[in-house]
Structure 1
Amino acid sequence: PLKQLTPRETSSLLTNLKAFPIQITGKMSLAKSFVTKGGVELKEIDPKTLESKKVPGLHFAGEVLDINAHTGGFNITAALCTGWVAGSRHYEP
């Protein structure tokens, strides 16, 4: 579990994740380009905070949400907006 890592191990893990190489080999046609299908159903979250109705304190944003649409700016807009909403809430532990 992540909480069992030392600060040095956590730092090393983050460094490796940020440097992980991903080779892009091509793209699909616009007709086949969609926001990722599936994910957390919208009825399972509070639309004002994007907090899970099942797990208090857990918030969802971006493509982990079950939002389907053609590309063309919608997915990045949804990711940015839902990220802002989910991240703008401050909770005391």
Structure 2
Amino acid sequence: MQEALINVTKHATAHSAEIRLTYSPDRLSIAITNGTGTGPAFSPAPDSGYGLIGMRERALSAGGRLRAGHRLQGGFEVVTELPLHPYGVDPAPAT
């Protein structure tokens, strides 16, 4: 979430962002969306690109996934889905 919000302040023409948290017993979904209008509200700087790579790597290392991109209605969205493990249960039992 932190990296996605930093990207909003660095790259977006939008002045706000929306954060949606959705959860189920086994999964947490986090969506950061900025911009609405008709055109893209995100224009990466020439030296950028590692933020999204780092977010994707962190999501994968936790067993989750991440998608990011321009929205048809304008703006940009970053969505990650992360697995939730019950307290006290080893998520990867030894074999």
TM-score by length of 1: 0.27
- Decide which structure has the larger Cα Rg and report it: 1
Higher helix share: 1
Which structure has more relative contact order (CA 8 Å, sep 6+)? It is: 2
TM-score, normalised to structure 2's length?
Answer: 0.27
